Amino acid sequence: MRQFEQLEHSQFYHIYNHAVGGRDLFKDSNNYEYFLKLYDKYISPVAVTYAWVLMKNHFHLLVRIRNSDECLNLTGIKTKNIKIN
């Protein structure tokens, strides 16, 4: 099984991905919009985005992973008596 490096709270990361075999990741404007909608839903709660660029066959993101208090506050969970590892 492939091991992945765990992202650390309060650290900055340059995240990027490139399509395989010269294919396009984004074929039309709806693909860009869909990507950004999912990004906002799943990534924004756990990372602050400082810069991004979406191109036809790849993308780049500059993010800072939120600290545990920021993440919990976004979900509405109270932090009392909760231990975060």
Q: pLDDT digit string (tens) for 25-66? A: 999 999 999 999 999 999 999 999 999 999 999 999 999 999
Summarised one tens digit per residue, pLDDT across range 6-25 is 889 999 999 999 999 989 99
Q: pLDDT band at residue 76, thresholds of 50, 70 and 90? A: low
Q: What is the model's pTM?
A: 0.75
Residue 21's alpha-carbon distances to 1, 24, 28, 47, in angstroms, are: 24, 9, 18, 30
Amino acid 69: pLDDT: 80
H/E/C letters for each residue in the chain? CCCCCCCCCCCEEEEEEECCCCCCCCCCHHHHHHHHHHHHHHCCCCEEEEEEEEECCEEEEEEEECCHHHHHHHHCCCCCCCCCC
Higher model confidence: residue 83 or residue 42?
42
